[in-house]
């Protein structure tokens, strides 16, 4: 059975994209689609390769019963553009960076994550919480949870 492969991308792969990976993996599992949808995350930069998610991101996720402590940072690789079906950027900088890296034939796979929420109240990017307080991490989770639901519905309609 072919899988739909989803990659979440931010700058460092220690705050937003591992959070998105954790949120979306839980949602996929709750819909018993774990064997149909592969989920991963990566960063556009290599600053935190091999590192666990930021403690604040781990804690905020844990409060919602999501464990992301086992994830480790990695950098986006050219092969990712071939492997994944959806390459979802957290913000405009990540999006631009991904388009610069992508082979032309895979550019259509790259998009921003938040528009999948289908909400006019949400902005179209997840703000970088790294230099802010813990509130920022709660807001990141709220935004990502909304987008994750919309993303799963889109995938179900398009592929299953
Ligand atoms: P992320 O957050 O892109 O959501 O993982 C950041 C993590 C680290 C840095 C910036 C943003 N940094 O500058 O090291």
Q: Express each pLDDT in 9-67 by its tens digit.
A: 999 999 999 999 999 999 999 999 999 999 999 999 999 999 999 999 999 999 999 99
Q: Express each pLDDT in 59-78 by its tens digit.
A: 999 999 999 999 999 999 99
Binding site membership of 44 for ligand 1 (Cβ less than 6 Å): no
Crossing angle for the helix pair 134-159 and 55-63, nearest 10 degrees? 70
Q: What is the pTM of this model?
A: 0.98
Task: Return the ligand 1 atom nearest residue 73 CA.
Answer: 5
Region label for 112, one of left (φ > 0), alpha (ψ between -120 and 50) or beta (otherwise): beta
Q: What is the pLDDT of residue 2?
A: 85
Confidence check: pLDDT of 114 > 90: yes
Q: Which CATH number goes with the domain that contains 128?
A: 3.40.50.2300
Q: What is the mean pLDDT of residues 87-106?
A: 98
Q: Output the CA angle 20-26-23, nearest 5 degrees.
A: 20
What does each C-alpha distance from 92 to 79, 113, 139 come to in angstroms?
22, 10, 18
Give how many domains the chain has, as a whole number. 1
Split at pLDDT 50, 70, 90, the class of 101 is very high
State the DSSP H helix or E strand holding residue 143, giving kind and residue range, or none if neither: helix 134-159
Binding site membership of 127 for ligand 1 (Cβ less than 6 Å): no
Confidence check: pLDDT of 1 > 90: no
Q: Which residues form the domain of 77?
A: 4-159
Q: What is the mean pLDDT of residues 87-98?
A: 98
């Amino acid at each position: 059975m072919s899988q739909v492969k989803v990659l979440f991308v931010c700058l460092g792969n220690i705050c937003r994209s591992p959070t998105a990976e954790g949120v979306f993996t839980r949602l996929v599992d709750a819909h018993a689609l774990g064997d149909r949808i592969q989920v991963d995350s990566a960063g556009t930069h290599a600053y935190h390769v091999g590192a666990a998610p930021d403690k604040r991101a781990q804690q905020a996720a844990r409060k919602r019963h999501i464990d992301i402590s086992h994830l480790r940072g990695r950098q986006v690789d050219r092969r990712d553009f071939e492997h994944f079906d959806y390459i979802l950027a957290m913000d405009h900088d990540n999006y631009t960076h991904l388009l610069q890296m992508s082979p032309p034939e895979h550019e259509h796979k790259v998009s921003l994550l938040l528009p999948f929420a289908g909400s006019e109240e949400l902005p179209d990017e997840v703000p970088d919480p790294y230099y802010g307080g813990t509130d920022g991490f709660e807001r990141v989770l709220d935004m990502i949870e909304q987008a994750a639901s919309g993303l799963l519905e889109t995938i179900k309609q398009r592929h299953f």
